[in-house]
Amino acid sequence: MIAVVFPGQGSQYVGMGKDFYDKFEVIREIFDRASTKLGVDMRRLIFESTEDELRLTENAQPAILTASYAIYSLVKDRFKNISFFAGHSLGEYTACVASGVISFEDAVYAVRMRGKFMQDAVPLGEGKMVAVMGLLVEDVENICREVEGVVEPANYNSPDQIVVSGRAEDVDRFVELAKSRGAKRVVALNVSAPFHCSLMKPAADRLKPILEMIRFNDPAVPIVSNVTADIVNSGAEERDLLVKQVYMGVRWYQSVNRMVALGVSTFIEIGPSKVLTGLIRRTAKGVNTLNIEVVGDLEKLEEIL
């Protein structure tokens, strides 16, 4: 069984997907559709902007979705059968487009607004995210509960890497405790807001009416939700989960384990960087993994299918 997964924010870089864009008309068409919908030159943003401009949340989210879905559009007919789609945070929107839950135009608009709302929710500098390595998941959760204020598990990336999010001063207190309890490393992330914690609830409240205006179909291929790490077969349920996803933790490694338990033996990551491929390898030993990021990766796809 094969699962196709899509990356989230942080995987972006200037020039992602350019070799595909230069070679394939279908890629250029997807970029043009995104540009028309947003009134933004996506080719310029993705290929010619600065890393700082592309890193802005309201730019990064539609840019990653566009690059990832464009590549998927090129290769989708090569798959005989896909058992599940999933995506890390923003990537779940790409999964929804791939599974026919929402249109590409609706998705790229929704994530543009999602990024803006998330950026607006907390003033710059007041939030913080850190990645914790070397502590048990239960220990990270317990330390979060010990700290007064807002500090919460945001990304369950792998059994040995949990990202914590919250108010900067509360996260700093968490870091002191985590180091005293034996954390091997605690790394501050270069992000502009504390994503996937309760501070993002205002962003979710603003996003909800936008998603309610969008038509959500039942998925043609089941999606695994970040929020529940379980299968979603209903478009209405997926809409509700995408609202909750803004302020709840991304249960990524649990999602991977769920798919493995259901029989998935091959994970194919489509989009920039190889972040999810690395996390999957650290979570599920013995599965086949492949990232499709550049044109040269297409040969590897033929080998694995």
Active-site annotation, residues? 89, 196
What the block records as the tokens of 196 is: 């996937």
- Helix or strand run (H / E) with residue 6: strand 2-6
Strand-pairing partners, residue 146, are none
Ramachandran region of residue 131, left (φ > 0), alpha (ψ -120 to 50) or beta?
A: beta
Strand-pairing partners, residue 152, are 165
**Rounded CA separation 280/180 (Å):** 29
Q: What is the three-class DSSP state of 213?
A: coil
HSE, CB side, 13 Å, CA atoms: give it for residue 250: 25
Strand-pairing partners, residue 163, are 131, 155
